[in-house]
Structure 1
Amino acid sequence: MKGASQGTPDAASHETPADAPLRRISLGSLLSATARRHPDRIAVVDPADKPDWSDRPAITWTYAAAAEIVERLARGLRSWRLPPGSRIGLCLPGSAESALAILAVEAAGHVACLLPVSWDEDRLLAAAQNVALSAVLTQARLGSAAPAERLCAVAARYFGLRYLAAFGPDVPDGVINLDRFVLDGPAGEPAGPAPAAAGIVSFIGGDPEQPVYRSGESVVAAAAAHLVAMRVAPAERILSLIGPHDLRGLATGLAAALVAGATLETLPLFDGAAFATALRRPGPTHLVAPAFLEKNLAGRDLPTDLRSVALVHRAPVRFPSRSRAVDRSQGLRLETVIDTVAFDETAILSGRRGTTGDLSLVLGKPERLALPAALMSMRRGADDRLAFRGQACTVTPLQRGNRQAIPSGMWQETPYAPVLFAGFATAIEVVEPSASAGSPKIFAPA
C-alpha cells in the first residue's frame, strides 16, 4: 500500500465519504441470522467428486447445520490456550470445510490467515513466520498431496506453531483430528460472550512475504459492493471455480453468499465433467469463474436459468473484445456478464457489461462508480494510477506480524492505471510512480 493519491477532485467517484459509518457486521452474524429465519435453506454444497480426492463424503449443509458445526468448531478453538486475536492459518481447498473453518476462526475471536493449499513447505514456512501463526487448520489428503504432513514439516521448523489440526481420515500423529473435534468437542454454551471477530490475513499476489490484514466488516463490505453488480437473490446459488484463498475468492464466494443469504457451491479441483453436471443442476445460478474461461463458456450451450457469470480478472489485464450479439442460441448473453477485477488485495471492482456500470466506462470516468462513498470510492491520480478508499477497501500491510497504522479515510493507492481509448478502458496496466504515461504494458488473462 502506498501513500495518499494527489488526484484532482473531478477524478474521484465520491470525494467526500459519507458521514455515518456503515453498520458493523461479521460473516458469522450473517450466517446466524439466516439460520434463525430460514434454517432449512442450503448454505454450502460439496462437489460430488469430493470422495475421490479427499476420502471425505460430499455433504450438503443447511444454514442451521452449518451454524451448529461452526459453533462446535469455535468452542474447540476457544479451548486452545491462545490469546484473543491470534493468527490461525487455513490451508484448505475450497470445499465446505474451508467455509466452516473461516467462520469458526472468526467466531472464536481469532484472525483467519488464508494459506493457498498449493503452497510448498518453504512458502508455508515464510508465511507462518511473517504472520506469526499460532495454529493451522488443514486437511489430511488432497488428491495425491498430503497437506497435513507438509505442515508437520513446517511445524518442525517453526516453533511458534502451537497447534496443528486437520480434517479427514488418516490424520498424522501429533495432529488434532478436526472430525473428532467436531463430534466430541466441548459441549454446552461458552462461558461468557463470544469474542469479537478479528478479521483475516491474505497475501498480495500469493507472496508469503506480503501479508495484509482486513477486518471482517471490510470483507462483508467488499462482498456487498460486488453484489451490486451480480444481483444474487436469497436462496439462489453461487457456483464458484475460485477458492477462498484471497480477497477475490472470498468476496465473490463465501462472503457474497452469506450477504445475499444464498447457497455456495465450489469446485476446488476443476474437472470438466463435474463442472458440466454442477452447472446444469436446476435452480437460479450465478457462476464465478476465472476470466480466461470466457472463450470456453462462450462456446457452450448454457442453462437458461444461469442468471449471471462473473469473470474474475487480476490486474494488470487486457479486457477482451466485447461481442454484443444477444440473439445467438449459444454463448454468453451480454446482460449476464459481470467483469470483476481484483486490484491485488486492495479492492474488488465489479460491473455488468452493457450497462452504466460497465467497467470500460467506470474506469474511464471514476465518478460513474455508483456506490455509497462509505462503501467504496475510486479516483485516478496525477499519473492516472487508481486509488480506492471506503470500507470495502480498508486494508493494512503487516510487517513481522504487526499492522501498520494507516489514518482513517486515507486513499489506498495501487500501481495500476487504465488504458483509455476514446474515453473507454481497454486494459489496466502497471505504472510505476516515477514512470511516464508510456510505461510498458504487462497483461495477465485472469
Structure 2
Amino acid sequence: MSERSEAKSGSSGAPPAPPSLDDIFRRSVARQPHVPALIDPPDKRRITGEAPTALTYIEADRAVTALAGQFIAAGLPVGSVIAIQLPNTIEFHLTVLAAMRAGLVVALLPQLWRQADLSAALNRTSARAIVTAAGIDGVDHADLAMNAAVEAFSIRCVFGFGRDLPEGMIPLDIHAAPDGAAPLPLPDARRTALISFDVTPEGPRAIPRSHFHLTAGGIAIFLEAGVSPGGTLVSAMHPSSFAGLSSSLVTWLLSGGTLALHHPFDADLLCQQLAEESCTTLIAPAPLLMRLTESGALADLPSLRQAIGLWRAPEQVLSSAEWRHGAATLTDVYLFGEIGLFGARRAEDGLPAVLQPGPFGAPRDLPGATIAGDTIVTPRGTLGLRGPMVPIAAYRPTADSPAARSAPADHVDTGYAARRDRATGALCITAPPSGLMAVGGYRFLANDLQEWAKRLAQGAMLTALPDRMSGYRLAGRASDNARAREALAALGLNPLMVEAFRDRSS
C-alpha cells in the first residue's frame, strides 16, 4: 500500500491526488485490520443458498485482492466495463472494491432487470464482463446473465458466485488465495469508476462517475447525518444506484466502522438485526423508516443514533409525518434519479428541515461548511442542481429540449417541479418529472408503458398509480391476465411490469 501511495503522489511537489475508494478502504485495513468490516444478511441462505459470512477488514482486503486477481487473470484490461447484478450481500461490496482495485469500471445492474434491460445495458456500455449470483430470491440469475451475454457482442467473461453454475460461467471465490503476481494498476480518483442507469424524458442514459463523484455523494450524507465514526451501520438499501452505493458502501468507508447488510425487506428480521448488531446508523428508504417509527418498532434500540432515510419521491418529504424517535436523529436524503442528492437533518421537533435555494454545505447548519451543492428554481419552474457529485456532461440536454432553455449550463435540470414559498422564500419540491414514472428505484417513460401494453392484445392497458410507499405502482388489465404475464416474461421484462397483470380477485 505504501509503495502505491508513494508512486501516486510522486516527488515533483505537485499536490497529492484525491484518494480513490480503494485508498480509503486500505487506510482502514492498515489502521484496524481485525475490526469487523462486513456482515451478511442473516437470511442469506434464503436469498442465495449460501451461509451468511462476516469478515474483518484484513479478511475483506484479502477477498478484494483475490477477486481483483481473478478479474485480471481473465484478461480484463484496465478501463473496461464490468457489469454487476448481485443481491445486497458482502459479495456485492467486495466485487465493487475488487473491480476498482483492478482498474475496471463498474456498471450497476438493478436486481429486477431481466433479459431485455440487461442486454440493452450491456450493449450501451460495451461491457466486457458481467458478475451475478447463481440464484437470487429463487430466480435463476446465472441463466439470465448467460442469455443476456449472448446478445451483447462485447461480453468476454461471465462470472458467478454460488454453486451449480452453468457451463461457460467462471466461478468466483472470495476465499481464494490472493494472486500476489497479479499487477495492480495505480489508483486514480479522477478515472471513471462507476456507471449507473437513468431514464430521462429523452430516453435511457448511462451515467458515468469518477471516484471523486462517489466520494462527494458519500461525504454529503456522512456529514449531514453526523454518522458516528467506527459505529455499526445497517443498510437496507440495495446498492444498485448512485444513491444506494453512496449511502451504504461510501458512507461505511468514510466511517471506518462495520457495515451490516439487510436484503430488502423483512421488517421483523430487520428489527432483530438492528438489536443484535447494536446498530448506531440505519440506512433505509424513508417511507419504510416512517412506518417503523410509527409502529414503535424502533423504540427499543438504545444504540441507534442516526437514521438516514432516502426519498426516491422527494416531493413527499414536506408532507411526511414527524419523526418520533427521541434518541436518534433523522436525515432526509432527497434523491433526483441518478443526477444527485442532498440531505437535510431534521431538528428536535421531528419536522422536515426548511430548505433555502442556493449553495448548501454539509452539514447545512454549520457556518463555513464545505459546499456540497447548489440548487436553483429554473425559469420553467423546475429544480436545477449542481455540485461536486453531479455529472453535468452526462445530462447535457439536446438543443431542442426544454431543459436546454431553462437551467444554466452549469446546472442539471432535474425535471422536478419546484417553487419558492412567497412568505419565507423556502424551496418547495412539488411534483415528479412529467412523463416519467418511478416505482421504487425503477423509472419508466409513461409512453413506454403503453407501448408494451400494445404488444399484448387489443384493449390491454398498463398504467402507473400513485403509491405512498414507492411513488407509483404499476397496474395492468388484459382480457387474460395469465397470458399477459407469460407474454411479458417471455419478452424479458422485469417483474414490476409482469406482476402488474396479477390476479386481484382474491
- Report TM bin, short chain: 0.7 to 0.9
The aligned amino acid for 1:339 is: D
The match for 1:261 is 256
Displacement of 1:21: 10
The aligned amino acid for 1:116 is: P
Displacement of 1:273: 2.6
Q: String of CA shifts for 1:252-295, please: whole Å, max 9, x gaps.
A: 10111001112112212412331121121253421111122213
Local SS of the residue matching 1:270 = coil
The match for 2:182 is 190
Identify the match of residue 388 of structure 1 among 379, 385, 389. Answer: 385
The match for 1:317 is 315
The match for 2:357 is 365
The match for 2:165 is 171
Contact conserved, 2:131 with 2:160, CA < 8 A, in 1? yes
The aligned amino acid for 1:29 is: D
Taking the aligned partners of 2:467 and 2:92, their CA distance within structure 1 comes to 31
Q: String of CA shifts for 1:120-143, please: whole Å, max 9, x gaps.
A: 111101111111111001100112
The match for 1:3 is none
Taking the aligned partners of 2:230 and 2:82, their CA distance within structure 1 comes to 31
Displacement of 1:297: 2.7
Displacement of 1:426: 5.2
The match for 1:410 is 410
- Structure 1 residue 378 corresponds to structure 2 residue 367: no
Displacement of 1:195: 5.3
The match for 2:115 is 121
Q: String of CA shifts for 1:233-261, please: whole Å, max 9, x gaps.
A: 22211111111100111111011100111
Identify the match of residue 25 of structure 1 among 5, 19, 28. Answer: 19
Alignment of 1:8-47 (within 5 A): 24-47=18-41
Contact conserved, 1:90 with 1:137, CA < 8 A, in 2? yes
The aligned amino acid for 1:352 is: R
Displacement of 1:377: 2.7
Give RMSD over aligned pairs. 3.1
- Structure 1 residue 247 corresponds to structure 2 residue 245: no
Residue 322 to residue 69, structure 1, CA distance change in 2 (3 Å)? same
The match for 2:431 is 429
The match for 1:397 is 394
Taking the aligned partners of 1:420 and 1:444, their CA distance within structure 2 comes to 24
The match for 1:145 is 139
Contact conserved, 1:127 with 1:209, CA < 8 A, in 2? no
Taking the aligned partners of 1:416 and 1:264, their CA distance within structure 2 comes to 32
Taking the aligned partners of 2:196 and 2:433, their CA distance within structure 1 comes to 23
The match for 1:299 is 295
Which consecutive unaligned segments of at least 5 residues does structure 2 have?
A: 1-13, 397-408, 436-465, 471-506
Displacement of 1:334: 8.5
Taking the aligned partners of 2:130 and 2:175, their CA distance within structure 1 comes to 16
The aligned amino acid for 1:299 is: S
Local SS of the residue matching 2:166 = coil
Residue 365 to residue 314, structure 1, CA distance change in 2 (3 Å)? same
Q: String of CA shifts for 1:162-206, please: whole Å, max 9, x gaps.
A: 100001111111100102x7515x621433654545310001159
Taking the aligned partners of 1:23 and 1:387, their CA distance within structure 2 comes to 29
Taking the aligned partners of 1:215 and 1:443, their CA distance within structure 2 comes to 34
Residue 427 to residue 298, structure 1, CA distance change in 2 (3 Å)? farther
Aligned-residue sequence identity (percent) comes to: 26
Taking the aligned partners of 1:211 and 1:372, their CA distance within structure 2 comes to 32
Displacement of 1:119: 0.7
Q: String of CA shifts for 1:419-439, please: whole Å, max 9, x gaps.
A: 554434554424679xxxxxx
Residue 310 to residue 222, structure 1, CA distance change in 2 (3 Å)? same
Q: String of CA shifts for 1:78-105, please: whole Å, max 9, x gaps.
A: 2232332111000101110000000111
Identify the match of residue 219 of structure 2 among 218, 224, 234. Answer: 224
The match for 1:67 is 61
Contact conserved, 1:357 with 1:368, CA < 8 A, in 2? no
Residue 271 to residue 445, structure 1, CA distance change in 2 (3 Å)? closer
Contact conserved, 2:70 with 2:172, CA < 8 A, in 1? no
Local SS of the residue matching 1:376 = strand
Contact conserved, 1:223 with 1:251, CA < 8 A, in 2? yes
The match for 1:343 is 336
Taking the aligned partners of 2:325 and 2:196, their CA distance within structure 1 comes to 32
Local SS of the residue matching 1:339 = strand
Residue 220 to residue 193, structure 1, CA distance change in 2 (3 Å)? same
Taking the aligned partners of 2:256 and 2:314, their CA distance within structure 1 comes to 32
Residue 25 to residue 372, structure 1, CA distance change in 2 (3 Å)? farther
Return 37-46 or 197-206, whichever deviates more. Answer: 197-206
Question: Paired residues, what number?
Answer: 402
Higher Cα radius of gyration: 2
Residue 195 to residue 288, structure 1, CA distance change in 2 (3 Å)? closer
Which consecutive unaligned segments of at least 5 residues does structure 1 have?
A: 1-19, 326-330, 400-408, 434-441
Return 110-119 or 371-380, whichever deviates more. Answer: 371-380
Taking the aligned partners of 2:343 and 2:120, their CA distance within structure 1 comes to 32
Taking the aligned partners of 2:218 and 2:81, their CA distance within structure 1 comes to 23
Identify the match of residue 347 of structure 2 among 346, 354, 371. Answer: 354
Higher RCO, Cα 8 Å, sep 6+: 1
Residue 419 to residue 360, structure 1, CA distance change in 2 (3 Å)? farther
